[in-house]
Structure 1
Amino acid sequence: MRPVPAIAATATADPSAPVDRASAARFVDREVVPRVAEYERAGRVPEDLLASVSAAGLWAPFLPVEAGGQGIDLLTLGAVHEEVGRGCSSLRSLLTVHTMVAWAVQRWGDTGQRTRWLTGLASGSVLGAFCLTEPEVGSDATQISTSARRRGSDWVLTGIKRWITNGQRADLFLVLARTERGVAAFLVPRDAPGVEVVPIDGMLGTRSSMLAEVRLRDAVAGPDALLGPDGFAAGMVMTGVLDLGRYSVAAGSVGIVQACVDACAEYTTSRRVGGGPLRDLQLIRARLTDMVTDLYAARALCDRAGRLKDAGAADSLMATFIAKYFASQAAARHASAAVQIHGAAGCAEDAPVARFYRDAKVMEIIEGSTEIQQITIADEVFRRVVR
């Protein structure tokens, strides 16, 4: 297991610096874009960049000011995650799962859990990971086999979680496990006895998202590990944590489309064919037009989902499904087109559009596959029409 160095104590968020789309864009252009190819090859986001994320206040800016956040709304959070996704889907994936953990602690944690964890989650001195997926049942929360039982005052967890984003680096795992009363959520520190982390490398996309298999071998989580009521987690995941993760992936997919537009506009301006720039060809212009149109449409769908969440509207759940369905497919479609436009240059290992292509495929799978979105959206149509 790789050692986990602590993030530099000096890398704390500046409360006077607002976190918004503009600040996130500047951070991405300055800190991420110049070196993303380097750390994607290494398969790991470097510690100094994680510290820079902390200094920029990007880990959990939606948390209230008293917890170390900035209290930004979810519409703004989506814009921030879009900008990070424009630069690097792996880094955005780390923000996604960290957001899920921090939001769950803020939403369902008791006073002791909030006091213990929120300030660290806000600053980035504690990084979170979400542990739902298992080898045999995937992400079906109703079928998980990881168990949690009482032993004295402690909770003891046994099971295996796989494909855990940021599992290699996280300090705190939000683990879904089955108790006698149903599925419950538990906060399990990385250094708890019985926790083993096994890195997963060589993935198609999001190569530096530090995936891992988390093995819980009678892991002792302590008496304060249970988050929310026992047996409450299945509904919590469907209506809360996973919804927020899905929203982040949708926004990150919009970022991929924006990156494709930028890369193709630049390349077709400089690349010359038949004595003129490639951009003068009508087929190139048609492809760019489709990219830009889907970019604006996907961003509008994400914005609608964010506004509905901020308003506390029940429709926000379905709005997020729709946004994720459209944006992830748009990312995959236009990343493929971007590689085609770049030709052989787009197939090189370190070509940005090759990375967009690999990452976009992942967006169609994580936080609910395209097929799951189709089933869910159609079910909602029938629910409203057939009474």
Structure 2
Amino acid sequence: MILNHLTPQQGEKRRSFRSYVERALMPHAHRFDTEQAISREVVSSLAGQGYIGASVPEALGGRGLAPVDYGLLSEELGRACQSIRNFVAVQDMVVHSIEKWGTAPQKERWLPSIIAGETVAAFALTEPHVGSDAAAVETIAIEADKEYVLNGTKKWISFAQLADLFLVFAQLDGRHTAFLLERDTEGLRVEPIDGLLGLRGSMLGRLRLEDCRVPAENLVGGPGLGLAFVASSALDLGRYSTAWGSVGLSQACLDACVEYCGRRTQYGTEIKNHQLVQRMLADMITDITAARLLCHHAGVSKDKADMNAANHTLMAKYRASTVAVRVASDAVQIHGAQGIGAESSVQRHYRDAKVMEIIEGTTQIQQTLIGQFAVSAARSAPPLSV
């Protein structure tokens, strides 16, 4: 693995993340996938390490991780289990929303319990008919006597089966608005969604909201700020985690292939000596290195508050997720029949990789946004001197 671009402090943090992942998560990743669930014990373990809300300032209970450090954590979690990486990302998206846009009472009530793993949160934006076009949410909120009444359906909500608290997005008088909705709210039903292609441990669910009454103090960020501010900044964090997690998945595939190629013999030699296998390994390590550097660049941009940091994250997520699909596909190919077996880690990575091209903005949405950025960047670029 090429890590010369990391500082000694970043390298030490990465080693700490990796040590925990290999000890506490990697041995159980297959079980999370087959059982399609993670446990509260895993949540407590992650919280005990300070990995939930890790980028939150220490004064608010987090570890204050810088963007690159947080990316390294996401990569290591993704190298072990995408469902766990997704869990941490979802908690952080809600934590980030409350930290950045919530009121002082909301921060005091919810941040400590989410960061401690006592409260599991879910980010409820997607609906049966609304995915990439988030502005078109159909869930409706109506103001009624210091409360809001919510009606609608949310679908594909990660960890809905486990969540105690939902950050729900709805239309309030035609304005995109965010609300905190507790699980025991009357009128809220959570229905499990099983049998996913990948990220099977993410415990997805459908939310049915029927006259759910939400206290006025549970409104996050004010009316009309739900999409442009609350959701957009949270989704940027989600994309950043997904980008680094895709690199981790790709690295796990490469590691598995190198180990397998060194012991599998065909035609009188290890398959690592076959030129076509060497070509796949060469493409893997080159593409992984490029994707990792794009992620690192996005992290540095965030750390410096670069005005194009969000676009750099888009590019990192786009490239890293597409690389993950290619690398995982080649990993299955290299493993042959062993690669499609139920116990194979690369077949799990292959299924998870495809999901990475869909969550937090599909590949096609990323391409559209990056293409628009390319045009604007070219127009604003200074002329080259001769």
Same fold, TM exceeding 0.5?
Answer: yes
Structure 1 partner of 2:215:
222
Q: Pick closer, same or farther for the CA change 1:140–1:82 going to 2, 3 Å.
A: same
1:22 to 10, 15, 19: 15
Asked whether the equivalents of residues 132 and 365 of structure 2 are also in contact (C-alpha less than 8 Å), the reply is no
2:351 is the alignment partner of 1:358: yes
Asked whether the equivalents of residues 155 and 225 of structure 1 are also in contact (C-alpha less than 8 Å), the reply is no
Q: Pick closer, same or farther for the CA change 1:325–1:143 going to 2, 3 Å.
A: same
Q: Could you report, residue by residue, the CA deviation over 1:26-76 in whole angstroms, capped at 9, with x for unpaired residues?
A: 111011111211221111012322221121111111112122111111211
Asked whether the equivalents of residues 132 and 362 of structure 2 are also in contact (C-alpha less than 8 Å), the reply is no
2:360 is the alignment partner of 1:370: no
Asked whether the equivalents of residues 19 and 58 of structure 1 are also in contact (C-alpha less than 8 Å), the reply is no
Partner Cα separation in structure 1 for residue 136 and residue 40 of structure 2:
36
Partner Cα separation in structure 1 for residue 72 and residue 199 of structure 2:
20
Give the alignment of 1:1-387 within 5 angstroms: 20-180=13-173, 182-237=175-230, 239-385=232-378
Give the counterpart letter for 2:176 in structure 1: V
Q: Secondary structure at the match of 2:160?
A: coil
Asked whether the equivalents of residues 97 and 230 of structure 2 are also in contact (C-alpha less than 8 Å), the reply is no
Q: Secondary structure at the match of 2:361?
A: coil
Asked whether the equivalents of residues 132 and 139 of structure 1 are also in contact (C-alpha less than 8 Å), the reply is no
Partner Cα separation in structure 2 for residue 354 and residue 316 of structure 1:
33
Asked whether the equivalents of residues 221 and 230 of structure 2 are also in contact (C-alpha less than 8 Å), the reply is no
Q: Which moved more, 1:339-348 or 1:121-130?
A: 121-130
Q: Secondary structure at the match of 1:129?
A: strand
Report the identity percentage. 42
Partner Cα separation in structure 1 for residue 377 and residue 285 of structure 2:
32
Partner Cα separation in structure 2 for residue 190 and residue 235 of structure 1:
26
Asked whether the equivalents of residues 67 and 122 of structure 1 are also in contact (C-alpha less than 8 Å), the reply is no
Q: Number of aligned residue pairs: give it.
A: 370
Asked whether the equivalents of residues 20 and 77 of structure 1 are also in contact (C-alpha less than 8 Å), the reply is no
Runs (5+) with no aligned partner, structure 2: 1-10, 381-386
Q: Secondary structure at the match of 1:177?
A: strand
Partner Cα separation in structure 2 for residue 167 and residue 139 of structure 1:
20
Give the counterpart letter for 2:367 in structure 1: Q
How much does 1:237 deviate?
Answer: 4.6
Q: Secondary structure at the match of 1:20?
A: helix
Q: Pick closer, same or farther for the CA change 1:181–1:144 going to 2, 3 Å.
A: closer
Q: Pick closer, same or farther for the CA change 1:285–1:309 going to 2, 3 Å.
A: same
Partner Cα separation in structure 2 for residue 101 and residue 117 of structure 1:
10
Structure 2 partner of 1:3:
none
Partner Cα separation in structure 1 for residue 241 and residue 276 of structure 2:
32
The CA RMSD measured in Å over matched residues stands at 1.5
Q: Could you report, residue by residue, the CA deviation over 1:328-347 in whole angstroms, capped at 9, with x for unpaired residues?
A: 00000010000000000100
Partner Cα separation in structure 2 for residue 306 and residue 60 of structure 1:
17
Asked whether the equivalents of residues 63 and 70 of structure 1 are also in contact (C-alpha less than 8 Å), the reply is yes
Give the counterpart letter for 2:326 in structure 1: R
How much does 1:150 deviate?
Answer: 1.6
Asked whether the equivalents of residues 101 and 230 of structure 2 are also in contact (C-alpha less than 8 Å), the reply is no
Q: TM-score, normalised by structure 1?
A: 0.93
Structure 1 partner of 2:383:
none
Q: Which moved more, 1:24-33 or 1:230-239?
A: 230-239
Give the counterpart letter for 2:66 in structure 1: D
Q: Which moved more, 1:149-158 or 1:364-373?
A: 149-158
Q: Which moved more, 1:368-377 or 1:151-160?
A: 151-160
Partner Cα separation in structure 2 for residue 368 and residue 19 of structure 1:
32
